[in-house]
Structure 1
Amino acid sequence: LLIGENGRVVVQRVKEKLVAIEKSLPAGTRLIPHLDRSKLVNGTLRTVTRNLTEGGLLVILFLFLFLLQLRAGLIVSSMIPLAMLFAVVGMRLFDVSANLMSLGAIDFGLIVDGAVIIVENAVRRLAEAAEHGKVVDIEETIIASTVEVIRPALFGVFIIVGAYVPVLTLAGVEGKMFRPMGLTVIFALLGAMVLSVTVVPALCAQFLKPQPERRNYPLEWLTRLYERALHWHVRRRGFVITVAITVMAVCFSLFPRLGSVFVPELNEGNIAVSGFYPPDTSIEEVVQLSGRLEQHLRQQFPDEILHLFTRIGRPEAATDPMLNNQVDIMIELTSPERWKRARTKEQLVELVSQEVQKMPGLSVTFTQPIKMRMDEMIEGQGVRADLAVKIFGPDLRELNRLGRLVEAELRQVEGATDISMETTEGLPQLQIAVDRERLARYGVHIQDVTDAIEAALAGKVATSVVVGNQQVEVALRLEPSSRDTPETIGRLLIPTPDGARVPLNQLARIEVVEGPVRINRENGQRRVIVLANARGRDLGSVAEEAHRRLQRLQLPTGYWIEYGGSYEHLVSGRKRLGVVIPVTFGAILMLLLIAMGSLRYALLVFTSIPFALTGGILSLWMRGMPFSMSAGVGFIALGGIAVLNGLVMINSINALRAQGWRCYEAVIEGAKRRMRPVLMTASVASFGFVPMALSHG
């Protein structure tokens, strides 16, 4: 796939070409595609579309339930398609494609937050005027109601936008993954912010009428309950603050127990098995063993496996550096509804692993096709697992010894599976050491010896023939029985200048020795890799335990260990989040200070962030989900969302105090007045994400 091309479009073009090629093939010949990447792309797009649709419908439903006005609900809901148009235009300008990451984080509840605050206040002001029998100038009332809440509405949305801006600073793999998401959300929120202060007031003036609000009995009951709770909490504020801080401390103490992963793994719907046979296994034996394994897996999993094929070694173009004893087994799975031996993919991988391990001499690592290629592209050849322990040093034998020690230590780590060390030694090599003294004694030139060995063992081109429109070279060499052992090779006759012939074993020492299979280097240094996957336990915990165990190894001078794979991205991502999150929260505090004009009030609103984070940590802990980069980015966004409601509430209380209300009464009345918009913004923002949280596509 060329840089900048759309995978789904390219795959469709390939399919069209295959149809044309198939017509020119012999009768009965069919081309059957395997591992169709467009299926995954289309599946994720369907999931995103379904989540956005369901989230939008939930948001609209909650708007109508709170407002009980069709026109007001439609005005707020109109922000969803209009803001998405802004987002699409921005994505087009910045070359952001529509995919799971760019569209998956859009919450329609966030998009309508500003419009909710403005429309709710307009509805309330018009209803109050109608209930008092006043003659209402609709335009003036709408303008006044908009001006009353425009400061918290604008700053609230602007703070949410500001919370996403640091996401754009992420670098490396995490930047490639999350920058499109940040850009898309920022485009949508900026569009919603502009529309909230321009289009929304105009729509309110055009369609809203002064009329008493319909009684909302559930909301009235909640308001009465909230008022009683307010009085109780305000009178016992010391106790309430102590309990809140205690709960927050308990939840934050759970954070280290969550574990960590880089990002939740995308289920590709397929399995890739990367395996190694012993180095001395011939290509014919590898083909035979692979065929037996394929047949065995098909027999064991007839309802789970749709297609199965094995790729052996490297292609002639050598675009993929693989050994002849190295195989990639690609397993295309059927729909999970048809499975009988497993309910989840994790269970199926475990069952397949048990069957594969029955194959003698085969060392395997389980992954997914696209993930395997991405890991190799980012980490380098040979890294096809969650955790890669890289051992560097000058001597290959010492590296192999250390690699075996590391492999033994990793096998003691709970949750570490598919542990294997890359094959670097054990390849049989024919070694012919020419004795120069004997060559001189017989008067034989070394070039004559090497030419004879090359012709006998590798072959030499004697002529070429034309087959069809191709020219094929014809090479001659000894038959296998005359070159299969050192003894038979030693009987090869070498001509001398006087016309005699001397056996090769009289001129050289011939023996079979074990040599290196390959010598890998990284940054100019020799290295070997030990691979491991995390299964049944989070990657962070597995890697940290492995790190503690490997620290006890006594490495010789000049040897050291580094870590790669997904764990390397997890570490770099955590370091960057350690900078981005404090910077984000600092920026939010500065924006609050600008909006409130008082450090005291800004800090008061800012306290909502740590209390909001407790809910996120508690949810991850209750669901048994590890902390990931996705969760970290979500916490960044949560910081912006959390202050919006506090900003609206404090603004209402300060407005009443400016009118001469005492502090206690202003707190109670201001909180009551803003209970509905606060509930609305919090509800639509939360329930807008529910389809995504429950999605399993």
Structure 2
Amino acid sequence: MDIARGSINRPLYTWLIMLAALLGGIWGFLNLGRLEDPAFTIKSAVIATQYPGASSAQVALEVSEPLESAIQKMGEVKLITSVNRPGSSLIEVEMQDTYDGTELPAIWTKLRAEVRDAARALPDGVSEPYVNDGFGDVFGLFYAVTAEGYSDAEKHELATYLRRELLTVDGVADVEITGLPPEAVFVEPKMAVAVNQNIPIDAVSSALANANSVRPAGSLEAGPADTRLSAPEGSDSVTAIAGLSIGSQGDVVNVIDMADVHRGRISDPDLLIRFNGVEAFTLGIAGLATENIVEVGQNVDAKLAALDSRIPYGVDLKPIYQQHVVVEQASNDFLVNLAMSVTIVVVVLALFMGWRAAVVVGSTLLLTVVGTLFFMNMFSISMERISLGALIIAMGMLVDNAIVVAEGMQISMLRGKTSRAAAHEAASKTQIPLLGATVIGIMAFAGIGLSPDSSGEFLFSLFAVIAISLLLSWLLALTATPLLGHYFFKQGNEDSKDAYSGLMFRTYGKILAWALKLRWLVVAGLAGITVICFIGFGQVKQQFFPDSNTPLFFVHYKLPQGTSIQTTSRHLKVFEDWLAEREDVVSVASFTGQGATRFMLTYSAEKPNPSYGHLIIRTATLDAIPPLQAALEAFGQAQFPEGEFRTKRLVFGPGGGDPIQVRFSGPDPKVLRRLGAEAEQRLAAASANILTPRHNWREQEPVLKPVYANDRAQTAGVTRENIADALQFSTDGLQMGVFRERDRLIPIIVRRAPQEPYNIYDQVVFSSSAGKFVPLEQMIDGVDVVMENTLVHRRDRLPTLTVGADIPPDLTAATVFAEVQDTIEAMEIPPGYLMEWGGEHESSGDANESLGKQLPVTLLIMVLISVLLFNAIRQPVIIWLLVPMSVNGVVIGLLGTGFPFTFTALLGLLSLSGMLIKNGIVLVEEIDLVRETGLPLRQAIVEASVSRLRPVMLAAVTTILGMAPLLTDAFFVSMAITIMGGLAFATVLTLVAAPVFYLIFFRRAEKLEMAAV
């Protein structure tokens, strides 16, 4: 099929293709979905269960174990982990990576059924397990709301109003409010009155429980219709609750006569939030997965601006994170990089091939990119970090096809051929090799994009965009390039000067002739350099994902286990005040008791713990983060040496956990603690780069356990439950009913007045048999103090203790892991116990394993295509011998600049391999064609290589310079260096090593030629 000649003979068709690519690309760009990260399903659900009064060991044994056993029966489950605390179980279930988002709803339904069935056998007093499958929802528009001077009730009303209004915004899926101060109606009996009149606390509780309950009252048949009867409404105010009557031994008293009743804030909430030192609550807004997050964000901004006049004075709404701003900036940066890359291509081509070729190739490149945007929109591929990266990665390969065709056509026309004949000659001999090389380049990424696990789902857009853009570049190189060349290239005559007689070509020809003569020395030199570089690759820093270019970083602060949330909050306030005085700090959001709402796909919040504090700090610039981290850590260690203080940079991709982790699993918590302590010591001793080793079971806590005096208590009619209720009443209080206020259910708590002095032995408990209060001291035989594990972590139903450590910011986890691996693996692990590595070693290993499963298949396809292209073995072997050597330039580039080999660098290496193979295929194919004209082997090799010099050099130079704008991008800098350094060396491989290998493999042909002479 003569596509190139046809594109000139039928220009209308070609112009229509070009116009469709241009206009379709503009339409696609304007309508493309925009996200920060690819739409990705977090395949995890959380099951929360309450067991009030139970120890963490009881929770693990009586709640988590039966639930985990039931869940484990599901074949879809990949991993089950749980955190067991006194009174609560939190189980996280992760499903197999092979299930995509469309299959998860059915899996969650099955999970709920398993949990529901298992819950029937749970002990009395255990709440119904709550299954949360929205665990991975991302609320990318994240705001802090401050309302100084307003009451807690007014803050709740404000939050309800904001949520209701924002849910009406187009594209908004959900709005999550966190950090509102929890309220309660407190009933604080005057114990002197209660004891004097023998009014048991149960009587108060019963009156309160019935005061505000909702009960059915039936219906009344009235003629042809039934009329519903409504029960009398409950108490609608705190005053009404205070006026409730309590019957006691024939007398009736009002609650107000024997108790203080008031509405107030619960002193120990689950979460405390401040923004810039002011108490706040947060507003998380999630967009619909099908919507453009930039448009959703703009709609939200417009709505908030409209609400500004209706929001009370003194209420401020400040952004903590705005995903739409980040995404819009990324899109704008892409356009700038695209414009710079196309400009660089045009300028370089103009310098080396003239302005006509520059216009032809530059136009083809631009059409390819915008045409790709059209197909991205057609296939619902959003513009996000990975798809933008794919376009940038593909840029180097896109220009290749057009350069090869334009170069061949221009040279033929300079030699006197017509544009149609030149187009036919240039395209006919390269269209199949270019197609094969293009498919091979696509297949280099197929192992990543088509992987059936989570990495494949996350990176599918990478494969799809590269496939679309490369195939489109091949099509346009055979259609648009010949037509544009027909209009722009000038025709010479047969007597025109040889196009390859210039100094550059003559110099290269001499160097190549010398290399062919000293071929074994060249091979030995290349082999030596390759071996050295492979050894040197071990010195290259390894990092899974690079740091983000968003000027945010986190603080994780932990006080000893058991510290109250108020104490933790006071410590955080000291850090906030210190940061407020810094000019390089823009804002500080603090979260005490747990982490923030998931505002990024890669953000993972710390689970609830009163001793945990979290800061999200935004700086003026990225450069301000490292010195601020160091200063803040020094301040924290000096101010609160008892606390565990860590700062973390925001990273692209999964992260946030400890870079170094080792896990120990087994039945006995004492053995696990011993192994954990030994591991901490070994880590610290093995490397000075191990910072703050620690384990996730934290410190044991003292627990007071009254000893039940069985004989005396039973005689008095006092049960263990009575004693537990008496202790609960005298400390946190007993919840007895709820107070309804519109859509809110406010708990009613009966408790001892906080101002009264407290001593456990001074408490009283009501004796049902005696009908009066008796001293608690007589019902117990003292109080024991025991140390308990209040955090029990489990992994796949086994108690598991994880030791973690930080590393210096200038080192990678792989470097430090190599320093400590041997000493940990030398530990003596008792029978029945297991040691496993976690952290970045595990996560990067899982990713590499996933990639490794797919690479053999894609590699086989790539090799098969190269064999089919040549219908021979030796030519593909020559090309594939070059691939391992491509790492040479990568190692030199990364070691020379000091940047780590990241996941994006791996993608760059795959791209580099594709470019090298493509150039190799075109060069070897050209040598074969020249040999068919009857030239001697060496002369054919030199002439063919000289004819390919300019396309190879131009493709390399344009790609290398086109990557220059990415050197300032934190996410793509390692990839850019990989491609720039690797391609520079790969060009030498293509132009020198490939011809040398060709001569060696076809040496027998040269001998036959010499014999014939």
Bucket of the pairwise TM-score, normalised by the shorter protein: 0.7 to 0.9
The whole-number CA distance in structure 2 between the counterparts of 1:492 and 1:216 is: 110
2:583 alignment counterpart: 303
1:637 alignment counterpart: 911
Structure 2 residue 385 is the aligned partner of structure 1 residue 103: no
2:660 alignment counterpart: 387
Q: Tell me the TM-score normalised to structure 2 length.
A: 0.62
- Structure having the larger proportion of residues in helix: 1
Once the two structures are superposed, the pairs formed by residues 40-51 of structure 1 within 5 Å of their partners are: 40-51=326-337
AA aligned to 2:620 is T
Aligned-partner SS, 1:530: strand
Q: CA deviation at 1:21?
A: 4.3
Paired residues of 2:667 and 2:799 also in contact (CA < 8 A): yes
- Structure having the larger proportion of residues in strand: 2
Q: CA deviation at 1:312?
A: 0.7
The whole-number CA distance in structure 1 between the counterparts of 2:429 and 2:736 is: 94
Aligned-partner SS, 1:33: strand
1:121 alignment counterpart: 408
- Equivalent of residue 593 in structure 2, options 306, 313, 320: 313
Aligned-partner SS, 1:31: strand
2:103 alignment counterpart: none
Q: CA deviation at 1:247?
A: 1.4
Structure 2: unaligned runs, 5 residues or longer: 1-137, 139-285, 599-604, 972-1013
The whole-number CA distance in structure 2 between the counterparts of 1:693 and 1:550 is: 38
1:220 alignment counterpart: 502
The whole-number CA distance in structure 2 between the counterparts of 1:583 and 1:606 is: 16
- Equivalent of residue 817 in structure 2, options 529, 543, 547: 543
1:352 alignment counterpart: 632
Paired residues of 2:552 and 2:650 also in contact (CA < 8 A): yes
AA aligned to 2:897 is R
Paired residues of 1:496 and 1:502 also in contact (CA < 8 A): no
2:764 alignment counterpart: 492
Paired residues of 2:704 and 2:786 also in contact (CA < 8 A): yes
The whole-number CA distance in structure 1 between the counterparts of 2:811 and 2:500 is: 44
Q: CA deviation at 1:216?
A: 12
Once the two structures are superposed, the pairs formed by residues 577-656 of structure 1 within 5 Å of their partners are: 577-581=851-855, 583-656=857-930
The whole-number CA distance in structure 2 between the counterparts of 1:24 and 1:668 is: 79
The whole-number CA distance in structure 2 between the counterparts of 1:234 and 1:39 is: 57
- Equivalent of residue 80 in structure 1, options 365, 369, 373: 365
Q: CA deviation at 1:47?
A: 3.2
Paired residues of 2:419 and 2:491 also in contact (CA < 8 A): yes
Paired residues of 1:367 and 1:385 also in contact (CA < 8 A): no
Structure 1: unaligned runs, 5 residues or longer: 130-135, 337-342, 376-382
2:126 alignment counterpart: none
Q: CA deviation at 1:532?
A: 2.3
Aligned-partner SS, 2:922: helix
The CA deviation string for residues 10-50 of structure 1, in whole angstroms up to 9 with x for no partner, is 44444344334443333243222223334433343333333
Aligned-partner SS, 1:35: strand
AA aligned to 1:639 is S
Aligned-partner SS, 2:731: helix
AA aligned to 1:635 is L
1:406 alignment counterpart: 679
Structure 2 residue 274 is the aligned partner of structure 1 residue 274: no
Closer, same or farther in 2 for the Cα pair 1:83/1:462, shift >3 Å? Answer: closer
2:788 alignment counterpart: 515
1:340 alignment counterpart: none
Aligned residues: 672
The whole-number CA distance in structure 1 between the counterparts of 2:595 and 2:879 is: 62
The CA deviation string for residues 137-187 of structure 1, in whole angstroms up to 9 with x for no partner, is 432332233213323333332322232222223465543443322221111
AA aligned to 1:352 is L
The whole-number CA distance in structure 2 between the counterparts of 1:583 and 1:445 is: 69
The CA deviation string for residues 56-109 of structure 1, in whole angstroms up to 9 with x for no partner, is 211221222221142x32221122232223322332344322122211242433
Closer, same or farther in 2 for the Cα pair 1:579/1:317, shift >3 Å? Answer: closer
The whole-number CA distance in structure 2 between the counterparts of 1:371 and 1:61 is: 33
Paired residues of 1:365 and 1:385 also in contact (CA < 8 A): no
Closer, same or farther in 2 for the Cα pair 1:454/1:677, shift >3 Å? Answer: closer
Q: CA deviation at 1:474?
A: 4.1
Q: CA deviation at 1:407?
A: 2.3
2:348 alignment counterpart: 62
Closer, same or farther in 2 for the Cα pair 1:611/1:440, shift >3 Å? Answer: closer
Q: CA deviation at 1:392?
A: 1.8
AA aligned to 2:637 is Q
Moved more, 512-521 or 357-366: 512-521
AA aligned to 1:31 is L
The whole-number CA distance in structure 1 between the counterparts of 2:329 and 2:807 is: 26
- Identity score, percent: 21
The whole-number CA distance in structure 2 between the counterparts of 1:635 and 1:284 is: 51
Paired residues of 1:119 and 1:204 also in contact (CA < 8 A): yes
Structure 2 residue 473 is the aligned partner of structure 1 residue 192: yes
Aligned-partner SS, 2:492: coil
Closer, same or farther in 2 for the Cα pair 1:534/1:101, shift >3 Å? Answer: farther
Structure 2 residue 370 is the aligned partner of structure 1 residue 89: no
The whole-number CA distance in structure 1 between the counterparts of 2:545 and 2:742 is: 54
2:749 alignment counterpart: 475
1:203 alignment counterpart: 484
Paired residues of 2:547 and 2:970 also in contact (CA < 8 A): no
AA aligned to 1:503 is P
The whole-number CA distance in structure 1 between the counterparts of 2:768 and 2:934 is: 119
Closer, same or farther in 2 for the Cα pair 1:498/1:679, shift >3 Å? Answer: closer
Moved more, 578-587 or 253-262: 578-587
Aligned-partner SS, 1:365: strand
Paired residues of 2:664 and 2:833 also in contact (CA < 8 A): yes
AA aligned to 1:88 is L
Closer, same or farther in 2 for the Cα pair 1:456/1:61, shift >3 Å? Answer: same
The whole-number CA distance in structure 2 between the counterparts of 1:537 and 1:662 is: 55
The whole-number CA distance in structure 1 between the counterparts of 2:378 and 2:467 is: 14
Structure number with greater CO (CA < 8 Å, separation at least 6) is 1
Q: CA deviation at 1:634?
A: 2.1
The whole-number CA distance in structure 1 between the counterparts of 2:791 and 2:382 is: 40
Q: CA deviation at 1:117?
A: 0.8
The CA deviation string for residues 300-321 of structure 1, in whole angstroms up to 9 with x for no partner, is xx12211113111149999973
Closer, same or farther in 2 for the Cα pair 1:356/1:56, shift >3 Å? Answer: farther
- Equivalent of residue 621 in structure 2, options 310, 316, 335: 335
The CA deviation string for residues 280-329 of structure 1, in whole angstroms up to 9 with x for no partner, is 32233222222112112333xx1221111311114999997311111111
Q: CA deviation at 1:191?
A: 0.7
The whole-number CA distance in structure 2 between the counterparts of 1:471 and 1:261 is: 49
AA aligned to 1:121 is G
Paired residues of 1:110 and 1:684 also in contact (CA < 8 A): no
The whole-number CA distance in structure 1 between the counterparts of 2:785 and 2:829 is: 32
Q: CA deviation at 1:470?
A: 5.8
AA aligned to 1:612 is S
AA aligned to 1:403 is G
Structure 2 residue 439 is the aligned partner of structure 1 residue 158: yes
2:838 alignment counterpart: 564
Aligned-partner SS, 2:542: coil
1:133 alignment counterpart: none
The whole-number CA distance in structure 1 between the counterparts of 2:612 and 2:869 is: 63
The whole-number CA distance in structure 2 between the counterparts of 1:608 and 1:97 is: 35
Structure 2 residue 965 is the aligned partner of structure 1 residue 678: no
The whole-number CA distance in structure 1 between the counterparts of 2:595 and 2:389 is: 38
1:260 alignment counterpart: 542
The whole-number CA distance in structure 1 between the counterparts of 2:736 and 2:894 is: 71
Q: CA deviation at 1:550?
A: 1.3
AA aligned to 2:593 is G
Closer, same or farther in 2 for the Cα pair 1:360/1:238, shift >3 Å? Answer: closer
The whole-number CA distance in structure 1 between the counterparts of 2:938 and 2:839 is: 57
AA aligned to 1:642 is L
Q: CA deviation at 1:241?
A: 1.7
The whole-number CA distance in structure 2 between the counterparts of 1:505 and 1:89 is: 80
Closer, same or farther in 2 for the Cα pair 1:138/1:524, shift >3 Å? Answer: same
